[in-house]
A and B are shown apart, each in its own frame.
Chain A
């Protein structure tokens, strides 16, 4: 009957999923592909000639129009200065060459038009529109322009003129070179660079150590606590609520709490660890390589074990009590019951919990960023932190993207390992029947 209205159930289904599919394509799938694409280019946000992906030779008009006239007037002014008299002829010659730089470009009437447009916009302090910001160059003219600017820089360096003038000219010539945009495709060289850096392997090692140790401790502790409180007792509600609090607070807040308690001078936990003889002195905790990793893992275990407990407890509650009664009648010991009943029946829950915990641990960022910042001497620097620093401290988006892609591949491998080899069945609850 719905066919009469022109909507079959199937069509309604497609209509219903359409928004989600579009959003996922736009904000998740496309960015991942784009990250890979970026990783093949030399993109650096702190270098105007590399601040995007460039497929062809161009001139950055915004920068060129800004810097070129200053260079010309600076050369004119220093020509007129009496103290530069000695090098007058040389200076004149260079001045001519600088003027030629623009002349060679003005062969194309479009260039002059665009130059004037950009110039008047800059005069009014306006923003240069996207369409005017670059001017296309042929490969030969771009390279000859760049060569000329480089030789001019060398020539200026040799001039025996006043230092302030000279530095100004050199800076402008350098800036002008940056306005010549070259295609920045580098292929897989970011990847080969990265895998030759000890820092990369160090961060991969740190991430793995953190992930394996913290998840293992959380599983064992979580399972033990879950087994312990899997019964009716007074105050169960309090236990359950208190377990949720570390999970609910922002990781940043918990990291700051621990940072204070681990503090080398005023930290209560540092004092406690020192008191029981675990660490030689309080300062060791956040300043030595081994103990800072210990601190990070400790804080993570505190925040996530309760969550693990909660999930495992829910899994335990689905195991029927009659199984244990029957085992008891058959004379099975507690330990036998654990290995023959609890563990096999809990396995699906354990695997799914482990998978999600492992992925989360591998992606760790907030905790390390706040607690140690990746230090001391990169001893706690994880892949995410390294990637973040490459992108937002060095502004090297090309190499940072390559690191992102590597991190992404690691996550994929972990997922496949759990799902294919260990048989974690994450879909079973929601799979279509």
Chain B
């Protein structure tokens, strides 16, 4: 019994450490501006909660917050769809077909996923500038593929390998071509794995900062991480607004994590854990 109490104490401590910053962010976001400074800044509660910070986030003309959200949604969605379609073919070929240079291909994909993004930014930036594609969705989707595609190929290959070979063998006997086998049998079966991969790629694209910071500098094309990071003005930092914006961005992620946690955990651990 005593052991159990100690155990739960540790678990609570761990949860507290993980969740405290979120709690603090929330409290800060509903404090009225006068309570953000001085002694009240350290208070764990507020007696007169205010939505002023939330109103500021959405109404400030200098930073179109909704537009940032929209930009991130567009860029992350297209990146995810695009890389998953390309990666499905590649992953199937790697998992199921025989061809020369398979291990080299895998090695290259893995190496690309390890590339520091800063190593490609200069040519990408110069290229986009030359063709007037900075401050556009394309300008971000293109470089995002560098990390999205390897991530997708790597995860999908694991899922494709788990599909029993017999299913395909029997289709082969029935005269189905590799292409038919791919889209009639494999793709539907691997849909859950594809979805898991899509979540991981989407989050990675949604959170990307370096390319977004350098390529899309126009307010109309900034993504949400860049938008929030540049909330801080030259002299004052609007902590209340930043807290409100953080809460707004965190809530959908929390909901997504609660809904899909099993799948996300499976996707995250498939690469690292040998079974």
A432 and B99 CA atoms in complex are apart in Å by 10
A252 interfacial contact with B, CB 8 Å: yes
Task: Tell me if B122 and A397 are in contact (CB < 8 A).
Answer: yes
CA distance A307 to B200 in the complex (A): 13
Q: Are A265 and B37 in contact (CB under 8 A)?
A: yes
B18 touches A306 (CB 8 A): yes
A428 within 8 A of B: yes
The answer to the question of B138 belonging to the interface, with a C-beta cut-off of 8 Å to chain A, is no
A262 to chain B, nearest CB (A): 11
Nearest chain B CB to A86 CB, angstrom units: 49
Choice from B28, B95, B268 contacting A307 with Cβ under 8 Å:
B268
Which chain A residues border B264 with CB–CB below 8 Å? 244, 248
Residues of B within 8 A of A392 (CB): 214
Stretch in contact with the other chain, from B53-61, B139-147, B188-196: B139-147
The digit string for B240-275, where 1 denotes a CB below 8 A from any CB of A, is: 001100100110011011100100110011111111
Interface residues on A, range: 35 or more
B229 touches A238 (CB 8 A): no
Kindly state whether residue B97 has any CB partner on chain A within 8 Å: yes
Contact B119 A32 (CB under 8 A): yes
Cα–Cα, bound, A300→B183 (Å): 42
Interface flags, B91-126, vs A, CB<8A=1, else 0: 011110111101101111111101111111111111
> A253, B161: Cβ atoms under 8 Å?
no
Query: What's the minimum C-beta distance from B238 to chain A, rounded to whole angstroms?
Result: 11
Report the Cα distance A100→B214, complex, angstroms: 44
Given known contacts A1-B175, A266-B36, A31 and B120 CB-to-CB distance under 8 angstroms: yes
Instruction: Describe B's contact surface by its main secondary structure.
Output: helix
Most chain B Cβ neighbours within 10 Å, of A31, A32, A241, A426 = A31
B37 touching A266, Cβ below 8 Å? yes
Q: 1/0 per position for B125-149, CB-CB distance to A under 8 A? A: 1100000000000000011011001
Q: Is B75 in the interface zone, CB < 8 Å from A?
A: no
B11 / chain A contacts, CB cutoff of 8 Å: 228-229, 233, 235, 239
Does A238 lie within 8 Å of B21, measured CB to CB? no
A261-B24, A302-B21 known; A244 vs B145 contact (CB < 8 Å): no
Q: Assess the B112–A432 pair: CB atoms within 8 A.
A: no
Q: How far is the CA of A411 from the CA of B272 in the complex (A)?
A: 19
Known: A27-B146, A243-B18. Contact between A429 and B209, CB under 8 A? Answer: no
Q: How far is the CB of B54 from chain A (nearest CB, A)?
A: 16
CA distance A261 to B243 in the complex (A): 11
Is the beta-carbon distance between B209 and A20 smaller than 8 angstroms? no
On whether the beta carbons of A253 and B225 are closer than 8 Å, the reply is: yes
Q: Which chain A residues border B92 with CB–CB below 8 Å?
A: 16
Q: How far is the CA of A2 from the CA of B97 in the complex (A)?
A: 13
Contact with A along B146-177 (1 / 0, CB 8 A): 10011001100110010000000000000101
Interface hub of B115, B179, B258 (most chain A Cβ within 10 A): B115
Cα A20 to Cα B88 with chains together (Å): 10
* Residues 408-432 of A contacting B (Cβ, < 8 Å): 408, 411, 415, 425-432
Known contacts A302-B17, A384-B116: A19-B158 contact under CB 8 Å: no
Residues of the B chain whose Cβ atoms lie less than 8 Å from the Cβ of A2: 177-178
Interchain CA distance A415-B119 in the complex, whole Å: 16
- Contact check, B273 vs A311: say whether CB atoms are below 8 A apart: yes
How many chain B residues touch A (Cβ–Cβ < 8 Å)? Answer: 106
Query: In chain A, residues 225-244, which have Cβ atoms closer than 8 Å to a Cβ of chain B?
Result: 225, 228-229, 233, 235, 237-244
Complex partner residue of B115 from A251, A256, A261, A408, CB under 8 angstroms: A408
Residues of A within 8 A of B145 (CB): 23, 27
Q: Is the CB of B122 within 8 A of A246?
A: no
Given contacts A391-B122, A408-B119, contact A13 B99 (CB under 8 A): yes
- Nearest chain A residue, comparing its CB with the CB of B213: A369
Known contacts A244-B257, A253-B225; A318 and B106 CB within 8 A of each other: no
- Asked if B122 and A23 make an inter-chain contact with CB atoms under 8 angstroms apart, the answer reads no
Contact residues in B for A349 (Cβ distance below 8 Å): 272-274
Chain B nearest CB from A233 CB (Å) reads 7
CB pair A407 B265 closer than 8 Å: no
Could you say which of B28, B98, B210 contacts A260, with CB atoms under 8 Å apart? B28
Query: Whose C-beta in chain A lies nearest to the C-beta of B36?
Result: A266
Neighbouring A residues of B109 by C-beta, 8 Å: 20, 24
A63: Cβ under 8 A from any B Cβ: no
Residues of B within 8 A of A228 (CB): 7, 10-11
The CA-CA distance from A29 to B150 in the complex, in Å, is 13
Could you tell me which A residues sit within 8 Å of B by CB distance?
1-2, 5, 7, 9-10, 12-14, 16-17, 19-21, 23-24, 27-32, 34-35, 38, 52, 225, 228-229, 233, 235, 237-246, 248-261, 263, 265-266, 268, 271, 302, 306-307, 310-311, 314-315, 318, 348-349, 352-353, 356, 359, 362-363, 365-366, 369-370, 383-384, 387-388, 391-392, 397, 400-401, 404-405, 407-408, 411, 415, 425-432
A-B contact pairs, 5 of them (CB 8 A): A7-B179, A27-B146, A52-B126, A265-B41, A391-B125
Q: Which 10 A-B pairs have the closest CB atoms?
A: A314-B269, A13-B97, A13-B99, A31-B120, A34-B123, A16-B93, A266-B41, A20-B90, A250-B207, A16-B89
A253-B246, A256-B228, A256-B231 given. 12 additional CB < 8 A pairs?
A: A20-B109, A30-B123, A31-B120, A233-B7, A266-B239, A314-B265, A363-B118, A404-B118, A407-B116, A411-B116, A429-B161, A429-B271
